[in-house]
Every structure is written in structure tokens, then in C-alpha cells.
Amino acid sequence: MDFSRFGKKFSAGTGILALMDDLGKAMEQGGDIMLGGGNPAHIPQINRIWRRRMEEILATEGEFERMVANYDTPQGRYSFLEALAELINREYGWGLSAKNIAVTNSSQSAFFFLLNMFSGTFDNDKKKKILFPLTPEYIGYADQAAEADAFLSYPSKIEFTGENSFKYHVDFSKLEITEEVGAICVSRPTNPTGNVLTDEEVQHLAGIAEEHSVPLLLDNAYGTPFPQIIFVDVKPVWNENIVLGMSLSKLGLPSVRTGIVIAREEIIEAVSSMNAIVSLASGALGQVLTLPLIKSGEILKISREIINPYYRRKSHQVLYRIRESFEGLDYAVHENEGTFFLWIWFKKLPITTRELYERLKRRGVLVVPGCYFFFGLKQPWAHRDECIRVNYSQDDNIVNRGIEIIADEVRAVLKKTPRQEKTSGIPPATGWEKAPSRT
Ligand SMILES: Cc1ncc(COP(=O)(O)O)c(C=O)c1O
């Protein structure tokens, strides 16, 4: 059957589709150690809260019917929009009204709208692109543009922060904001790396965006005020030129598919209009489940006192296990400043991490090879084949077993495969040459 360009673009098998399929099938067969995928942990105290809320909804006369039997407005449920605006104003004093907020069926679909609103063909046939200043960046953006060649990414600058640790930064000396940039987009905390842009970097990006009259899209799916899976003290920012994406997923509600956009009214109207066309309205379940917690502020308390400490402890424990298991290997882990992912860089691996993924899969350990997070680069970058993403939200014993098998497999690869010079002509990673000598 002949599909339109749109149909072809969105139905063509992408690498990530194949990978997710692979991960899904392996999961279904069971028995595997699942360190791939983006599922949050099942935190018992948090699950109990959502169960309690469901029971309250069912026990309140008419509440369940009001939740499932009505379409909301395309912008969202007014009570939710108002309560969220109030909560955020109380916390940060941003002066939001309900008109600054829209709810979508997932932040994934919010980003589909936003990335296509600000890239592609504009009036006078001008072509514009989304600029991603901090590659590697969230895999979920990679195939979202309706038009071809709509993304432009810049490699991060690498700072070595310790013997076996590093941190990515925006390389402002390389960023070029030309006429063809329609928006700047970055996730903070960043999936896949666990990076959190510093306040200075965000201010700098916001300044550049404003200067060039393009919006800054800040994806806050793991950030503050909820779910607060962020381990460094940074300042949340918003202004009329910033579009903030949020989500209920990492609160432990990935299946309710609720995304939130905070932006100037004109952008909220456009997002609502797109939501009406694509979905008529968003589902109400997530909004109704969380509404009393947003009204009372309990959502902040559970984020700070349950969710944040839960992942912070897991982050420490997995890093400890890595230090023990990876002893003697040439590796570096990105500073884990947020999210529930570890980004591990194997510097002298003679095979790509796509091949390592296959080998690990044969041993029942599923990770995500790093190459999928390097879309939109102008030049190839060897670094893309040297990293893996590990989701550490599973039970500690499972995560630890997975880490041990990864260490063992990397050792086996190093023993059996002679080091091959990379012949692809790919330039070395920025900052690679500045690596401190390792003992
Ligand atoms: C950075 C980032 N943005 C957006 C999303 C999408 O979240 P949602 O479940 O709300 O679609 C994810 C999901 O993993 C993510 O990691």
C-alpha cells in the first residue's frame, strides 16, 4: 500500500522501534534482568497512595462517573489546571494562571506537538530546526519530527569529575543560533545520562533563546516540584519564553498517560488545539487521581520525602556496586544528578555497545545501547558506540546481579577480542584528549 510521506515517516521501522520490540519480547519471555526501558520503580508507599485515591473515587457518589463519562476540554480539566497553577505559584511565584497550563495524553505527545510547532516549513518556505544543545539526549524525541532533517544536535563537552566519573556540559563555544533554529530543547534532568544542567547553563540557554526570539523547551519529566527525582540543588525556572514539559509518569503513573505543558497563553492555545484535533480531549484519570494531592500540596511531600529518597538511595547503592564490580576496568559513569538511569562509558571496548547489548541479552541482561541517543548530529561521534544506559529502578538484588554480569561480559570481551583501531574516521569525543591518565 502506498502511504503519504507522513505515513511513511511514521511507519518506517526505526532503530528504537526494533529495540523496544526486542526488549518487550525478551521481557515477555521472562527470567531476564531488565535494566532497559524507562519504567519507574513500583514504590510500595506510592502505589498505596494511588490505590487509596482509586478507592476514594469509587466510594464518592458520582465521582467515578464524572471521571470516566465526560470529555474534558482539550486544554484539560479546569479544576486540575487551576490547582496546579496555584501550587506552582505558591512554590515558585511564577504568576501562572490556568491559561498557562495544558494537559496532554502523555508528555511524549506534548513534545510531538511542540517539536513540530517549532520545526519544519514556516511562512515564505523557510525551514527551521530544533536545536538540541546537549547530546546525548532523550531517545523519544529522535523520530518525532514530521518533516525530514528537522533536528540539529551538538555534542556535549565532557568534564572529567573523578577517576571514573564525568559530566556533560553544553559547549557554548560551539553553539550557533542561526536563522534556521526554531526552538532549543533540552531535558533536565536528562534521560539518558542523569545529568542536570547547572543554573548557569539554563540561564545562558534561556538568554540565548530570548535573544534570538525562539522558545526554550525544558523537559522536566523527572524534575521539580514533582516527581523530584533530582539529587542536586538547582533552581527551577520558567518565563514567557520557556515551555516547561512535565509528566505524571515518573510519579509511578506511567500508564495513566498524563503530560503537562506550562507556557505562555498563545502556546497553550496552540497545544490545546492540536490536542483537540488528535485526541478531542485528554484522559482524566491522572488528573482526578492527583487533584487532591495537588490542592493540598501532598504531592510535594511525597515527591520530596518518598520518591526522591527512594531513588537517591538506589543511586548510591548501584554506584557502590559498580565501583566494586568494575574494579580494574577502564570505565566512567556520568554523575548521577537525577533520573533513575546510569550512563556508563566503556572507553577501550573493542566492540560497539550495540554488540555488547546483544552479548548481554544472550546472558539475560537487558540494557539500552547508547547509539540511539545521538540523533541530529552534523558529524559522527565515536562516543555514541561507547556508552550504555542502565535503568536502576528494579529491586537491588536484580540490579546488582545485572551489574556483575555486565562487568563479567566486558572483561570477557576485552580478553577475547584484540583491540581494533577504529577505522571509521570518526573524530574522538570532545574532551577525550584531556582525560587524566588512569592507573
Ligand atoms: C525526558 C523524558 N521526556 C518525556 C518522557 C515521556 O514521558 P510520558 O510518559 O509522560 O510520555 C520521558 C519518558 O521516559 C522522558 O524520559
CATH number for the domain spanning 231: value is: 3.40.640.10
Mutation test residue for ligand 1: of 197, 249, 343, the one with most atoms within 8 Å of CB: 249
Q: Are residues 121 and 200 in the same domain?
A: yes
Confidence of residue 419 (pLDDT cuts 50, 70, 90): low
Would 402 be classed as within a structural domain?
Answer: yes
The protein residue with its alpha carbon nearest to ligand 1, atom 14, reads 38
Evaluate whether residue 54 is within a structural domain.
no
For residue 300, report the distance from its CA to the centre of ligand 1, in Å: 20
Per-residue pLDDT tens over the stretch 19-47: 778 777 877 777 789 998 889 999 999 99
| Shared domain check, 323 and 281 | no
Whether 231 shows a pLDDT value over 70: the answer reads yes
2 CA to centre of ligand 1 in angstroms: 32
Q: What value, to the nearest 5°, has the Cα angle with vertex 188 and ends 230 and 23?
A: 85
Residue 52 has pLDDT above 60, yes or no: yes
Contacts for 153-158: CB closer than 8 Å, 24+ residues apart: 153/374, 153/375, 153/376, 153/377, 153/378, 154/377, 155/377, 155/381, 155/383, 155/429, 155/430, 156/430, 157/430, 157/431, 158/429, 158/430, 158/431, 158/432
Alpha helices for 280-395 (secondary structure H)? 285-296, 298-302, 308-325, 353-362
Q: How many of the other CB atoms lie within 10 Å of CB of 59?
A: 9
Query: Tell me, what's the pLDDT at 75?
Result: 98
> Which ligand 1 atom is at minimum distance from the Cα of 248?
10
Grade residue 17 by pLDDT with cuts at 50, 70 and 90: confident
Check whether residue 328 and residue 310 sit in a common domain. Answer: yes
58 is a domain residue? no
- Cα–Cα distance measured from residue 192 to residue 375, given in angstroms and rounded to the nearest whole number: 13
Q: Which atom of ligand 1 is nearest to the CA of 254?
A: 9
Residue 57's SS3 state is helix
Range of the domain at 220: 69-298
Last residue of a domain, one of 237, 269, 298: 298
**Which ligand 1 atom lies nearest to the CA of residue 107?**
10
Instruction: Specify the long-range contacts of residues 307-312, CB closer than 8 Å, at least 24 apart.
Output: 307/43, 307/46, 307/226, 307/227, 307/228, 307/229, 307/251, 307/252, 308/228, 308/229, 308/230, 308/231, 310/41, 310/43, 311/41, 311/229, 311/231, 311/340, 311/393, 312/231
> Do the domain assignments include residue 62?
no
Taking 60 as the threshold, does the pLDDT of residue 425 lie above it? no
Domain harbouring 40, CATH code:
3.90.1150.10
Mutate to test the pocket of ligand 1, among 23, 39, 108 (most ligand atoms within 8 A of CB): 108
Higher pLDDT, 290 or 427: 290
Examine the domain organization and report whether 229 and 334 are in the same domain: no
* Alpha-helix runs per DSSP H in 93-150: 107-117
206 with 322, same domain: the answer is no
Residues 220 and 104 in one domain: yes
- Calculate how far, in angstroms, residue 189's C-alpha sits from the geometric centre of ligand 1: 11
Is the model's pLDDT at 193 over the cut of 80? yes
In a domain, 397, yes or no: yes
> Do 168 and 291 share a domain, yes or no?
yes
- Residue 317's identity, in one-letter code, is Q
Residue with cell 563555544: 173
Pairing of strands 387-391, 341-346: antiparallel
Do 292 and 328 have their domain in common?
Answer: no
C-alpha–C-alpha distance, residues 368 and 22, integer Å: 11
Q: Is the CB of 140 under 6 A from ligand 1?
A: yes
Number of domains the chain contains? 2
Q: Is the CB of 108 under 6 A from ligand 1?
A: yes
Q: How many A from CA of 423 to the centre of ligand 1?
A: 36
Domain match, 261 and 121 both: yes
| Structural domain ending residue among the three candidates 232, 265, 298 | 298
* pLDDT per position as a tens digit, 256-282: 999 999 999 999 999 999 999 999 999
pLDDT > 50? residue 422: no
Asked whether residue 56 is assigned to any structural domain, the reply reads no
In-domain check, residue 199 = yes
Specify if 386 maps to a domain: yes
Give the Cα separation of 187 and 137 in Å (integer).
7
- Average pLDDT (228-248) is 97
Regarding the beta carbon of 393 and ligand 1, being less than 6 Å apart is answered: no
Q: Measured in angstroms, how far is the CA atom of residue 192 from the centroid of ligand 1? A: 11
- pLDDT confidence band for 432 (50 / 70 / 90): very low
Q: Is pLDDT of 430 > 70? A: no
> Are both 99 and 37 inside the same structural domain?
no
255 shares a domain with 123: yes
Ligand 1: which residue has its CA nearest to atom 16? 191
Same domain, 108 and 196: yes
Of all protein residues, the one whose alpha carbon is nearest to atom 12 of ligand 1 is 221
Q: What is the mean pLDDT of residues 207-228?
A: 97
Higher pLDDT, 133 or 347: 133
User: For a pocket test of ligand 1, which of 138, 193, 368 has the largest count of ligand atoms closer than 8 A to its C-beta?
Assistant: 138
Ramachandran class of 20: left when φ > 0, alpha when ψ lies in -120 to 50, beta otherwise: alpha
Domain end residue (candidates: 263, 279, 298):
298
How high is the pLDDT of residue 126?
A: 96
